[in-house]
């Protein structure tokens, strides 16, 4: 059996399971909520000005077709299983939300005929105005948009984005959902997208030392933000962001922040972690006011802060995990080895960073090594690179050379211990 045929037949099998699972869970929860009393609603005053556009029921219904097609465009069984997990979680998370936070849609649609009227009639046969927040339609819209986009390029990708945007808008113009349902649906869709990443697998680690301390601090921040949700529901956003960062330090490692070697953040990570990144960017601006932007070291290697203007160097090694690739680095050779701030990287990550530094230096002639402030992660990597390039140096000498080039750098006892181990590995 060819791989394509296996994907086809397994897709049919998954569809046979998913379709009744979707309709049973969604329908049963809808019926359950319909029998409950005092079901409220959350509607903004401006929503009453949203027009009812009957023909947008067509893009609204098209999501069901795209749901089925999505299983058959996968290029591997692994991708197909990943998609199935996302679709199952979408239904489960949405149904939990419907039960815990029941809401009712309040607008009354006018009588309509024709094709649009028939499609609305089909919808009303199984749908009741109770499964509202988070909108399952929006959750699926986000997940399927991401899925189809991976298999398209150029104008087709733009067309795909336009159609899924129309689907998202249609939940309002068909008078199926209120605005709060869209916001919560997007949040859940992104959370599922983050939870089941496109590339790689989660690697569970046991936090020790400073990582454990920082994980605890971020967790305390998340709990403080959670308590603030009693005053503003928008604080759920920084709560989730801080919780993910706590997990990155405590258990999941830098992969939880989902930045790749080209400096791109996944769309889910970009949006979910935005409050944390905004805080980190403010901190970076505050602390870099009196720091030199770039400091020359040796042999075409430079240390610096997160660049906001195009550098003179021909290549850049980015060690940040909190920021996407700077817009100032569009026209230079670039590689990213993401590292968590304020803690030691593991040996494999340090080896990768030193290797990429030497590759960029050799092929491009000059390279800027940067983290957020140019004080810790970048200093550690260039010190390890010095020990590899000049084996006669001791760790203290390598550190002294880095300090001479950039006096503000910070080397902790943990850094020195790692450099000692690194030199031992180099001299074997």
- Enumerate the active-site residues: 371
Q: For tokens 């990597």, name the residue.
A: 381
Residues contacting residue 371 through CB under 8 Å, at least 6 positions apart: 306, 319, 320, 339, 341, 377, 378
- Distance between CA atoms of residues 10 and 16, nearest Å: 10
Beta bridge partners of 40: 103
Q: For the chain, how long is the longest CA-to-CA vector?
A: 85
- Distance between CA atoms of residues 401 and 404, nearest Å: 5
- Distance between CA atoms of residues 249 and 255, nearest Å: 10
Q: Which residue pairs from 221-225 have beta carbons closer than 8 angstroms and sit at least 24 positions apart in sequence?
A: 221/246, 222/246
Give which of 1, 219, 186, 194 is closest to 82, Cα–Cα. Answer: 194
Give which of 82, 119, 88 is closest to 25, Cα–Cα. Answer: 88
CA dihedral of residues 112, 114, 119, 122 (deg, nearest 10): 80
CB atoms within 10 A of CB 121: 11
- Distance between CA atoms of residues 97 and 103, nearest Å: 10
Distance (Å) of CA 114 to CA 117, 166, 244, 294, 327: 5, 21, 49, 67, 50
- State how beta strands 294-298 and 301-304 pair: antiparallel
């Amino acid at each position: 059996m060819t791989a394509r045929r296996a994907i086809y037949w397994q897709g049919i099998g998954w569809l046979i399971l998913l379709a009744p699972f979707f309709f049973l869970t969604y329908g049963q929860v809808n019926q359950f909520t319909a029998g409950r009393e005092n079901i409220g609603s959350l509607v903004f005053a401006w929503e009453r000005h949203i027009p009812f556009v009957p023909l947008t029921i067509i893009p609204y219904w098209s999501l069901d077709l795209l749901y089925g097609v999505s299983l058959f465009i996968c290029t591997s069984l692994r991708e197909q299983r990943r998609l199935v997990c996302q679709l199952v979680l979408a239904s489960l998370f949405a149904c939990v939300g419907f039960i815990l936070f029941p809401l009712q849609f309040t607008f009354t649609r006018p009588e309509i005929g024709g094709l649009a009227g028939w499609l609305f009639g089909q919808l009303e046969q199984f749908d009741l105005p109770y499964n509202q927040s988070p909108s399952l339609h929006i959750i699926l819209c986000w997940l399927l948009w991401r899925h189809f986009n991976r298999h398209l390029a150029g104008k087709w990708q733009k067309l795909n984005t336009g159609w899924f945007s129309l689907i998202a808008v249609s939940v309002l113009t068909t008078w199926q959902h209120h605005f709060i349902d869209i916001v919560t649906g997007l949040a859940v869709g992104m959370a599922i997208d983050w939870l089941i990443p496109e590339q790689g697998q989660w690697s569970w680690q046991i936090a020790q030392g400073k990582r454990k301390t920082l994980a605890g601090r971020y967790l305390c921040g998340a709990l403080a933000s959670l308590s603030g949700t009693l005053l503003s529901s928008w604080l759920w956003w920084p709560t989730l962001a801080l919780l993910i960062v706590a997990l990155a330090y405590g258990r999941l490692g830098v992969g939880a922040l989902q930045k790749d070697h080209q400096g791109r953040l996944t769309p889910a990570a970009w949006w979910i972690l935005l409050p944390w990144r905004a805080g980190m960017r403010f901190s970076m601006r505050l602390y870099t006011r009196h720091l030199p932007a770039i400091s020359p070291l040796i042999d075409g290697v430079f240390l610096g802060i997160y660049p906001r203007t195009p550098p003179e160097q021909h290549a850049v090694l980015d060690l940040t995990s909190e920021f996407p690739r700077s817009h100032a680095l569009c026209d230079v050779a670039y590689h990213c080895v993401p590292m968590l701030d304020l803690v030691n990287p593991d040996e494999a990550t340090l080896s990768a960073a030193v290797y990429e530094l030497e590759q960029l230096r050799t092929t491009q002639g000059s390279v800027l090594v940067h983290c957020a402030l140019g004080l810790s992660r970048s200093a550690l990597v260039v010190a390890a690179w010095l020990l590899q390039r000049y084996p006669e140096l001791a760790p203290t000498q390598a550190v002294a050379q880095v300090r001479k080039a950039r006096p503000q750098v910070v080397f902790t006892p943990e850094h020195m211990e790692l450099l000692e181990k690194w030199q031992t590995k180099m001299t074997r």
